[in-house]
C-alpha cells in the first residue's frame, strides 16, 4: 500500500526512533523518506492529466493571485483515477501563481520558504484560525536522513517529524474539535547551479515539497508512553480525523519584459473529518467544505505574511 493515502498508518510501520519500540522489521530511514518523496513527485506529475479543473478561477484576498481548483477520485492502491466508488479517495487540488516580490498581495521566495517549509505546522497554526494546538511528538535528524535523489530530483535538507494537530471550530457546542496525527516529510532542491539545458526556461530554479501522511495511534501498535501522551493531549470530545496532502512550491525563471519571476504553489489533499459530518458536506463548496477551505488558505497565508513583514 502507498504511503500517501487517506487511511492512516500505524506507528509500527515507521523507521526506528528512540520513542519507538526497537523492531528489526522497521524500514530504513532514508529509504522510507525517499519512498514518500518519490510518491509525492509521481502524484504531482499526474495532476495535469488526471484532475478535473473547475472552469471558474477563485479569489482569495488579500492575495492578488487567482486560484485554480481541481478535483478527482483516486483508487489509493493504484493511484488511478476512478469514478466515485467505495474506498475511493476524494482529492482536491489548488494551484496559484504569485509574483516573486515582497509587496502587497504577494510574497517573495524567501517568505514562501520561511512560511511554508520552515516550521510548517507551527506557522500553519499562526495563519489558520481553526488550528488551536500543535504538539511535536517525534523528529528525526536531518543528518541521519541525508540527501535523497529520486526521479531525477536531488533533494537536500530533508526533514521528517510527527505532529499532533488540533482544529477547533465554532460553535464549539455543535462541532467537536478534530485532532490529526500527521507525519510530515519536507525536502528542498536547487537547480540554480545545474548546467543549462534546452528546457531551462520551463525548469524551476528551486523548489520544495512537503508531504503529510496520516497516522493512527493504538494501544497495541504504539509504545504505551507515547500513546498515553497522545490521548492526554487532545481536548475533551475531540474526534481523531485524518488527511493526506502534497504541497509543491517552485520558483520559476524570470520571463517577459519586466523580467519578473513567478512562484507556483500547488497543494492537493484528501481528508476525512470523521464524526457525523456527512462526506458530501465535506466535499461541497457551498457548505464550506474542503474545496472552499483550501482556496481560503492562500489568502490566509498571504495576509499573515504581509502582517509579519510590516511588524
Give domain 9-310's CATH architecture. 2-Layer Sandwich (3.30)
Query: Do 232 and 99 form a contact (C-beta atoms < 8 A)?
Result: no
Kindly tell me the burial class for residue 86, based on how many C-beta atoms sit within 10 Å of its own C-beta (0-12, 13-18, 19 or more).
Answer: exposed
Q: What is the 3-state secondary structure (H, E, C) of 146-194?
A: CCEEECCEEEEEEEEEEEEEEECCCCCCCCCCEEEEEEEEEEEEECCCC
Q: Answer yes or no: are the C-beta atoms of 181 and 133 closer than 8 Å.
A: no
pTM of the model: 0.93
Dihedral sign for Cα atoms in the order 279, 300, 268, 97 = positive
Q: Is the dihedral of CA 294, 234, 276, 270 positive or negative?
A: positive
Model confidence pLDDT, tens digit, residues 208-245: 999 999 999 999 989 999 999 999 999 989 999 999 99
Task: Give pLDDT tens digits for 55-111.
Answer: 999 999 999 999 999 999 999 888 788 888 788 999 999 999 999 999 999 999 999
CA distance linking residue 261 with residue 101, whole number of Å: 9
Pairing of strands 178-190, 239-240: parallel
Residue with cell 548546467: 195
**Whole-angstrom distance, CA of residue 52 vs CA of residue 84:** 13
Amino acid at each position: 500500500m502507498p504511503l500517501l493515502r487517506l487511511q492512516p498508518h500505524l506507528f509500527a510501520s515507521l523507521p526506528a526512533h528512540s520513542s519507538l519500540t526497537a523492531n528489526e522489521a522497521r524500514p530504513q530511514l532514508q529509504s522510507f523518506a525517499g519512498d514518500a518523496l518519490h510518491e509525492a513527485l509521481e502524484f504531482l506529475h499526474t495532476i495535469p492529466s488526471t484532475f478535473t479543473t473547475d472552469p471558474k478561477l477563485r479569489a482569495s484576498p488579500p492575495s492578488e493571485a487567482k486560484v485554480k481548483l481541481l478535483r478527482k477520485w483516486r483508487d489509493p492502491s493504484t493511484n488511478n483515477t476512478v469514478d466515485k466508488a467505495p474506498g475511493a479517495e476524494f482529492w482536491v487540488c489548488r494551484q496559484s501563481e504569485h509574483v516573486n516580490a515582497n509587496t502587497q498581495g504577494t510574497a517573495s521566495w524567501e517568505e514562501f520558504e520561511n512560511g511554508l517549509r520552515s516550521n510548517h505546522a507551527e506557522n500553519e497554526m499562526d495563519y489558520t484560525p481553526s488550528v488551536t494546538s500543535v504538539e511535536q511528538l517525534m523528529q528525526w535528524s536531518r543528518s541521519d536522513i541525508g540527501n535523497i535523489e529520486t526521479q531525477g530530483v536531488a533533494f537536500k535538507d530533508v526533514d521528517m517529524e510527527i505532529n499532533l494537530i488540533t482544529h477547533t471550530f465554532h460553535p464549539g457546542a455543535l462541532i467537536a474539535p478534530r485532532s490529526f496525527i500527521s507525519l510530515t516529510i519536507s525536502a528542498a532542491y536547487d537547480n540554480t547551479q545545474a548546467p543549462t539545458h534546452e528546457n531551462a526556461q520551463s525548469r524551476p530554479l528551486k523548489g520544495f515539497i512537503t508531504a503529510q501522511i496520516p497516522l493512527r495511534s493504538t494501544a497495541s501498535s504504539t509504545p504505551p508512553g507515547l500513546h498515553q501522551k497522545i490521548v492526554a493531549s487532545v481536548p475533551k470530545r475531540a474526534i481523531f480525523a485524518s488527511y493526506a496532502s502534497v504541497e509543491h512550491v517552485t520558483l520559476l525563471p524570470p520571463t517577459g519584459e519586466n523580467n519578473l519571476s513567478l512562484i507556483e504553489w500547488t497543494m492537493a489533499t484528501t481528508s476525512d473529518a470523521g464524526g457525523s459530518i456527512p462526506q458530501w458536506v465535506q466535499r461541497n463548496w457551498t457548505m464550506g467544505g474542503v474545496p472552499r477551505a483550501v482556496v481560503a488558505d492562500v489568502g490566509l497565508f498571504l495576509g499573515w505574511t504581509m502582517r509579519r513583514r510590516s511588524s
